[in-house]
Amino acid sequence: MRPVKLNLRKRWRNWLQAMLAGFLLGYAVVVAAELAPVTAPEPAVRAALLFNFLKFTEWPAEATDATHLHVCIASSDPELIVAMETINARQVQGKAVLTTVFRQQADCDVIYVDSRQRWNSIRDKPGQAHALTIGGYTGFATDGGMIEIVLQQGGSRFDINLGEAKRAGLRFYPQLLKLARRIVE
């Protein structure tokens, strides 16, 4: 009988050692991932940020399509357009995201602009009164845009022009406002 007890103890000890080793290996992988800089392509980072902004924005009920959230991309950068298309058909607040290249007559719930020149050409167009505007150039928030993406070495940040969002009838969730680098009223 005694040898059986030792055998069970040995199995139990081996099992515990294996579990501990697995846990430590998993922990080491997580720590290494946090310490190693992850460098995603800039267009992919912008698309991910845009998608997250959609999740933390509330539009007036009458301002959006019942089934889709129309995201218009005002850019000539093919890599950015392809990256933005990766969010197509994803769900936000029960609506499928639909990305398109910006056209002057487009009905947009969201407009992403990559340059001051493009912004100046579309900012006062009719039909965009309730559109969430997101810009990828320095000074977008002070130029009358709502969210300015700021990519810095080591991460990304954003500024929010709360006054423009309120004028459009948009509401940002508090979680988004807390993460903003700067809020302009």
* Domains of the chain by residue range: 1-36, 42-184
Which pLDDT tens digit goes with each residue over 135-156?
999 999 999 999 999 998 878 9
Question: Where does the pLDDT of residue 66 fall: very low under 50, low under 70, confident under 90, or very high at 90 and above?
Answer: confident
Whole-angstrom distance, CA of residue 160 vs CA of residue 155: 17
Question: Where does the pLDDT of residue 32 fall: very low under 50, low under 70, confident under 90, or very high at 90 and above?
Answer: very low
Helix, strand, or coil here: 137?
coil
Q: Which residues contact 46 (CB under 8 A, 6 or more apart)?
A: 80, 83, 84, 112, 136, 149, 151
3-state helix, strand, coil in the chain (%, to 5): 40, 25, 35
CATH of range 42-184; options 1.10.10, 1.20.120, 3.30.70, 3.40.50 = 3.40.50
Whole-angstrom distance, CA of residue 21 vs CA of residue 24: 5
Of the given ranges (45-54, 66-75, 79-88), which has the lowest mean pLDDT?
Answer: 66-75
Mean pLDDT, rounded, for 146-170: 93
pLDDT of residue 133: 96
pLDDT of residue 107: 83
H-helix or E-strand spanning residue 97: strand 95-101
Whole-angstrom distance, CA of residue 66 vs CA of residue 70: 11
Q: Which amino acid is at 97?
A: V
Q: Is the pLDDT of residue 35 over 70?
A: no
DSSP code of 138? T
Q: Kindly state the tokens that stand for 99.
A: 């990305």
Q: Kindly state the tokens that stand for 148.
A: 């300015």
pLDDT of residue 170: 96
pLDDT of residue 31: 36
pLDDT of residue 65: 76
Rg, C-alpha atoms of the chain:
24
Q: What percent of the chain has pLDDT over 90?
A: 61
Mean pLDDT, rounded, for 174-180: 96
Whole-angstrom distance, CA of residue 176 vs CA of residue 57: 8
Q: Is the pLDDT of residue 106 over 90?
A: no
Q: Which residue has the higher pLDDT, 35 or 98?
A: 98
